[in-house]
Structure 1
């Protein structure tokens, strides 16, 4: 980021006019170093030079969100909405929604509604970003997933994983089980880990055998070698033996099984 900022500072001496692309590049560099204050300074400097545009605002919103500054991206989005020179687009709103943390999920939903007032069509990225913010309110996550099924651009693996994660945090193993049965494809390791968390937090011991069997079969399908089959059987045996132990102690087995050459 220091090199990018140095090049930007040297442009006047070289009789070069910095434009929106130059500033946007410097803002992106500040994001990689999590220097969100620098992003705001650059946006302010762009205003003074009247070279700001939507791309530069989007870069700043993304940079601020990456540094866990969730209020500032929403403020920048409001500033964009009040300026005719750089109206927000889908990328602006998606970046602002993605910056919202789970404890502030109402702001994510409000931003999704704000998109419609701006006559912007929320897409799958928009809804997945809102879904991720609902990790602590599983009922709303499930409602949003139902809404996504009714539109043309339905939920994808990220959507289902986020909903499973919300069920896991809430210890709603029956909801997680129902959701798993509705998924059009086999979950990846992220989905299975969220599913396991739901079983663990709710002490749903009766659902553990099916979980272990399903993960084993899915893992064997992905790996497919004789050596992997032997390893998976050993892990499953360990999992079966753990059923006599309280549910809270089954988590290491879940994580071991999910991580074994899954990626």
Structure 2
């Protein structure tokens, strides 16, 4: 009697412990507890097996989950619905669609009826594996068994259709999801936008875009409690600085808030960027300024917003990729859209007629007459090639882009050739529509000057009224890798020839100090950028190097700014030990460097994430600051 009571207590204790491991996602401990039950000759039951399978599944350990399920059946313990569903769910992230579908079909033999979770998880595995036909088959099976799709199932099917290029089926499923009264959601909407772009359905993209903005804004509202703001300085300045930081975190690059025209922002997704509405808020600090400069212009967000604000804008960057994107986003060369679209249609027609691929398109664009139209065709080609790999638009990390862009696309390593005609045509039409919207938003035609040079040697002929810029964060990004990958993607010397070092977009020499002519012929290479992440990892004296770089570019900023003008900087703490940690405090050295070269500090604002939870958005794990400076008269 006592032995049986002891055995019962052992089962209860182990079951409780394994269940606790499941809730804490400690799968190793759960597996170890099952092993202890064998050693102590405590019989395992449905509860202990099920909890352990769920713990392993929650941590993506699909092989462990499947092995435990087999052990259950060998022990003549029939798995329950929860255990089977957990196992199927674990297959999805690993794209193990055969296992997911196989277990789903085996469930009736285990005296289990698959439910909506079973089917949705299996469909999710098919989505990850790009098995859209199998996903459709499962959907038909659900309908026959009167199992209704849940939110996850809708998303998985839309994703499967998007990956397969079935834009019409994706839009039908998106419409069905709406009619089922599920929220549209970012995943479903962005996947629908992506497939429409790749299919050349640019009108549908424009129709879907306001919905994408809306669902993104709704998702961002949930993050509003994850940060706190601190500021020092006059309230009439700090309220703008704080609001700009909030917009940077909550709206996200490259979106604009619902109801706002997207303009050309994010048409090409650059590795990093100031949020457009963040830049727009900062322009409210300088309403009287006529000329505004961005010394690290990136893909041109500050320049575009300056044009919309009616300013003359000056941009500078050392990266050829940044110059290429910024010039086209800001419409720096006033592209003739009619000629551009005419040539784009001719190229698309030739692609379809001769059934040719991306390589043919590269060659045909290279044969065009040199000038703004040829450059714009190259730019759209670049965007089309990047879209060919990004199947859930805006969910691929732009920070990872440079690592594998040249090998992205189809399973054999290149962008899928059958996408070329429709995708190139659609991107051309979409780019023209975005440029038209930018021109319509501008109160007058702005003068846009963009220079490719190290801003530390920049010497403008006339100082600007204000500076709005976001310098590189210490040790966070490697801007050279995506530029190098882009050069390979476009072929030949297209990217580097667009604007040579020491030159200005559209021709002419960049205005630089006469005694720094060596910078004009220097090639773009790793290690030349301010704050490059490889330097942080390799240099033991990085902090002192960082301060010296800050002083150098801020001295140039002060030199190129009129007396009484202001400089507004968006800066971020850097990475000391791991990407995203933000353990390198950047506010103090930046302010000290600015004051050392002659600026006077007016105000600062900081936005700080409250949590380090793994689900917190990555951009909210790094503290960011706004610094507002004055050049004394």
Would you say how many aligned residue pairs link Structure 1 and Structure 2? 243
What is the correspondence of 1:125-164 to structure 2 with a 5 Å cutoff?
A: 125-135=152-162, 136-153=165-182, 155-164=184-193
- Aligned match of 1:63 in 80, 90, 102? 90
Return the alpha-carbon distance in structure 2 between the equivalents of residues 20 and 248 of structure 1. Answer: 57
Map of 2:263 onto structure 1 = 210
Identify if the C-alpha distance between structure 1 residues 60 and 10 changes in structure 2 by more than 3 Å, giving closer, same or farther: same
Is there any run of 5+ residues in structure 1 with no aligned partner, and where? 194-207
Identify if the C-alpha distance between structure 1 residues 235 and 11 changes in structure 2 by more than 3 Å, giving closer, same or farther: farther
Identify if the C-alpha distance between structure 1 residues 23 and 229 changes in structure 2 by more than 3 Å, giving closer, same or farther: farther
More helix by share: 1
More strand by share: 2
Identify if the C-alpha distance between structure 1 residues 157 and 213 changes in structure 2 by more than 3 Å, giving closer, same or farther: closer
8 Å CA contact 1:161, 1:191 repeated in 2? no
TM-score (norm 1): 0.73
**For the aligned residues, what is the CA RMSD?**
4.0
Identify if the C-alpha distance between structure 1 residues 212 and 65 changes in structure 2 by more than 3 Å, giving closer, same or farther: closer
1:172 aligns with 2:241: no
8 Å CA contact 2:158, 2:188 repeated in 1? yes
Identify if the C-alpha distance between structure 1 residues 191 and 144 changes in structure 2 by more than 3 Å, giving closer, same or farther: farther
For residue 226 of structure 1, report the CA deviation from its aligned partner. Answer: 2.5
What is the correspondence of 1:197-236 to structure 2 with a 5 Å cutoff?
A: 210-212=263-265, 219-220=276-277, 225-226=281-282, 232-234=301-303, 236=305
8 Å CA contact 2:265, 2:276 repeated in 1? no
Return the alpha-carbon distance in structure 2 between the equivalents of residues 249 and 16 of structure 1. Answer: 63
8 Å CA contact 1:21, 1:56 repeated in 2? no
Return the alpha-carbon distance in structure 1 between the equivalents of residues 253 and 189 of structure 2. Answer: 7
1:13 aligns with 2:69: no
- Aligned match of 1:248 in 369, 381, 393? 381
For residue 187 of structure 1, report the CA deviation from its aligned partner. Answer: 4.3
Map of 1:99 onto structure 2 = 125
Map of 1:202 onto structure 2 = none
- Aligned match of 2:140 in 113, 134, 140? 113
For residue 96 of structure 1, report the CA deviation from its aligned partner. Answer: 0.8
1:79 aligns with 2:106: yes
For residue 44 of structure 1, report the CA deviation from its aligned partner. Answer: 1.3
Return the alpha-carbon distance in structure 2 between the equivalents of residues 52 and 80 of structure 1. Answer: 9
8 Å CA contact 1:28, 1:60 repeated in 2? yes
Identify if the C-alpha distance between structure 1 residues 123 and 97 changes in structure 2 by more than 3 Å, giving closer, same or farther: same
For residue 65 of structure 1, report the CA deviation from its aligned partner. Answer: 2.1
Return the alpha-carbon distance in structure 2 between the equivalents of residues 42 and 235 of structure 1. Answer: 57
Identify if the C-alpha distance between structure 1 residues 209 and 31 changes in structure 2 by more than 3 Å, giving closer, same or farther: closer
Higher alpha-carbon Rg: 2
Any idea what the Cα deviations from partners look like across 1:118-155, whole Å, max 9, x if unmatched?
33221222111110111122121112223333333363
For residue 163 of structure 1, report the CA deviation from its aligned partner. Answer: 0.7
8 Å CA contact 1:65, 1:95 repeated in 2? yes
Return the alpha-carbon distance in structure 2 between the equivalents of residues 87 and 186 of structure 1. Answer: 34
Return the alpha-carbon distance in structure 2 between the equivalents of residues 81 and 191 of structure 1. Answer: 47
